[in-house]
Structure 1
Amino acid sequence: MTLMKRSQNWYPSFPSFFDKFFEGNLMDWNSWNFSSTDTTLPAVNVKENNDAFMIEVAAPGMAKEDFRVSYDNGRLTINSERKNEKRDEGENYTRKEFSYQSFQRSFNVPENVVSGDKISANYKDGILTISLPKREEVKPKPSREIKIS
């Protein structure tokens, strides 16, 4: 049997704020998936292996030129801006909504763990993948047998 948590939310316009408040993560703004314009940010996966951290950002329909990734003082920032500048000359529009997409997302990166000068990024099949290699001194070392004398 699986227990399910029932939502006690009486004010639908404030669900995530109150949920975050009572979870105790109110001041952890980096973990929230919202923007000031009440839109959602692209979904992100963060993976770790022995050699690196990998951040995958779901951003289908964009081009690699639409992204800017920067690293400064332990903060990795991903910016994206895309405008649809297609012009249809001579058309009489009753309604045409402009196409503009942008987002910014930042992550605190432990500088003592990640080699900031070796961070790389790749965009393929709608996924922006950022590789954050670990410093050699923090990578797990293989076990060795100690000879007893």
Structure 2
Amino acid sequence: MTDQALAPTKPKQELGIFEQFLEPLSQLRTEVDRVFDDFPVRWPVVDFGSRLAASLPSPAVEMTETDKAYKVTVEVPGIPADKIEVEAEKGLLVIKGEKTEEREEKERNYTRSERSYGAFERRISLPADAQLDDIHAKASDGVLKIVVPRDKKAVPARRKIEIRHAKKD
């Protein structure tokens, strides 16, 4: 069994024709939003310790597959496991997280207080054979690992249709 990079862009069986048409546009919008989220809108004037940006960029995600499961690895440095949510809904894997940081310096004549907050959300399309009811996730050392088992009985999302020559009347 070898791992292969996976880009699940196949339409889901449960989606209607209209939703299948809109799916690529929805994925494009998500990627464009991610690009703008990664772009620094505000540059800090003064670096006060380890400062968080106004919002965290979308975390790096790697998805591979084996014969038995899809494996999703997400980089979430500095975010504790209790601040991460993983949900499965309608053929999507939804990963959310937030990081907060508060710092206060008290000196003789002044007090300086600073708060930072950042949140992210990633939505990953899952193939039709993903078993949503048996997903497992573990977080350790800033890395979230999610295992999505595959259903061997699932009908393939795509199959080749033979074209026969029509009889002439």
TM-score over 0.5 for the alignment?
A: yes
C-alpha distance in structure 2 between counterparts of 1:114 and 1:35, whole Å: 30
1:117 is aligned to 133
Q: TM-score, normalised by structure 2?
A: 0.56
| Greater share of strand | 2
Q: Check 1:38–1:62 CA distance in 2 against 1; reply closer, same or farther (3 A cut).
A: same
Q: Deviations over 1:46-105 (max 9, x none)?
A: 1111111111111111110110111111111111012124555678246x5422121001
Q: Does 1:78 align with 2:79?
A: no
Contact 1:58 1:126 in 2 (8 A): yes
One-letter identity of the residue aligned with 1:80: G
Instruction: Spell out the pairing of 1:30-109 with structure 2 (5 A cutoff).
Output: 30-32=30-32, 33-36=34-37, 38=39, 40-85=57-102, 92-93=110-111, 96-109=113-126
Count of residues in Structure 1 that have an aligned counterpart in Structure 2:
112
Contact 1:79 1:103 in 2 (8 A): yes
Shift of 1:36: 4.9
CA RMSD in angstroms comes to 2.7
Q: Percent identity?
A: 26
Give ranges in structure 2 of 5+ residues lacking alignment: 1-23, 41-56, 155-169
Contact 1:55 1:130 in 2 (8 A): yes
